[in-house]
Structure 1
Amino acid sequence: MQTSSPKHHNMMTYGSETWSLTMGLIRRLRVTQRAMERAMLGVSLRDRIRNVEIRRRTKVTDIAQRVAKLKWQWAGHIVRRKDGRWGPKVLEWQPRTGKRSVGRPPTRWTDDIKRVAGSRWIQAAQNRGTWNSLQKTYVQQWTSIG
């Protein structure tokens, strides 16, 4: 894993722990990141330099990797809290709305976490060792896209 964390990562990932991650969102973040990396190097799309070469030169961590890691760590932190704050309660909250809209339901914040850790993910997160061992799988599912 690359260690470089330039300022654009901080700007692009601010508040990302609260995002519902989707493939579309990850692709848009990557497009933006690649544009920033080309700008850092003074390279144009017309120069036809491969993304892997640009990444080799900039040594920047893939934005999908960073966003996924931040969200996973924050999820574990939130559900292990014992200070009575609202974090764990809001994760289980079901809004009461009228009619459901037609089509596929919106992606919920916990959907991608449950795919890796299962429906009992809150219990799994109580054990830091278990949670940390699942993090690699979670991050990998987002870094393997695109």
Structure 2
Amino acid sequence: MERTMLNITHRDRKINMWVREKIKVTNVIEQGRRGKWTWVGHVSRIRDNRWTLRIITWKPYERKIHRRRPARRWRDELDDYWKGTIWQRIAQDRQLWKQHAEIFAQ
């Protein structure tokens, strides 16, 4: 679609980064990760007992263990990034959270 917007084909031998530079389109995956980061930071700063905060901290009681690989949860990315630190506490500091947002999105 992006190449069609510029009226070029693969035969013109232009790389994708060049095409995106010309169109000035942001990467959708990067935008999605940045949006997730800001949402999680916002929700973890909520003080009352709303369902969104309960969803972040909820762990299922007893689950049947399947023989297949476990499904990847959205918070697994955050746990991998912070590697053992409690990211809910770090999210309380807005400035520190915003500094890590750019690193996480890349």
Q: Does 1:129 align with 2:89?
A: no
Residue 111 of structure 1 aligns with which residue?
76
**CA shift at 1:64, angstroms?**
2.2
What residue identity is the alignment partner of 1:38?
R
Alignment of 1:15-54 (within 5 A): 36-54=1-19
Paired with 1:38 and 1:93, the residues of 2 have a C-alpha distance of: 44
Paired with 2:66 and 2:9, the residues of 1 have a C-alpha distance of: 43
| Number of matched pairs | 105
| Native 8 Å contact 1:68 1:139 kept in 2 | yes
Residue 7 of structure 1 aligns with which residue?
none
Residue 18 of structure 1 aligns with which residue?
none
Q: 1:83 to 1:118 in 2, by over 3 A?
A: same
% identity of equivalent residues: 34
Paired with 2:11 and 2:67, the residues of 1 have a C-alpha distance of: 43
What residue identity is the alignment partner of 1:128?
R
Q: Does 1:76 align with 2:41?
A: yes
The alignment's TM-score, normalised by the length of structure 2, stands at 0.83
Paired with 1:129 and 1:86, the residues of 2 have a C-alpha distance of: 25
What residue identity is the alignment partner of 1:104?
R
Secondary structure at the aligned position of 2:26 is classed as coil
| The structure with more radius of gyration | 2
| Native 8 Å contact 1:38 1:44 kept in 2 | yes
The alignment's TM-score, normalised by the length of structure 1, stands at 0.63
